[in-house]
Structure 1
């Protein structure tokens, strides 16, 4: 199926589906936002091939957004957890307790 031009007469460039970002987010950080990102990423190519260019571009942006939310949110959460456990270990060491 050949791409048909939009109302402006030009076929926009095919958007990235960000499927790799979505998969990495799902496995490394946040399953919920990763799955949402995978759903949007999976719809990009189908909408593009169907001629729904605006829908494909919108889904591409949503896939990227949800993937980045998961990665950044997961990194922040892991940083907070590491700081918390580091503070707990430092407190245990400095108090001379043998909690291990």
Structure 2
């Protein structure tokens, strides 16, 4: 019986620490309205987000094949863009999109 009580007492600090730990980075990122994982059609539906997209990755929203990839995110489209969407462009777009609330 003493062993069970001791084991329970030792596990309480771990539970208390788990409840007071800061939110993981994913939760912080989820608070942004837009990200590189947001579908392009959702981004261009918002005038502010569309302006960010047009500024950082010109031509994406007017691309002749936009209808074929509009349901995809920038993270999904970039690897298929043949280098036209650079990591630097994505970084700028990410920073600007995450600033939109």
Shared fold (TM-score, shorter chain, > 0.5): no
Relative to the length of structure 2, the TM-score reads 0.29
Relative to the length of structure 1, the TM-score reads 0.29
RCO (CA 8 Å, sep 6+): is it higher in 1 or 2? 2
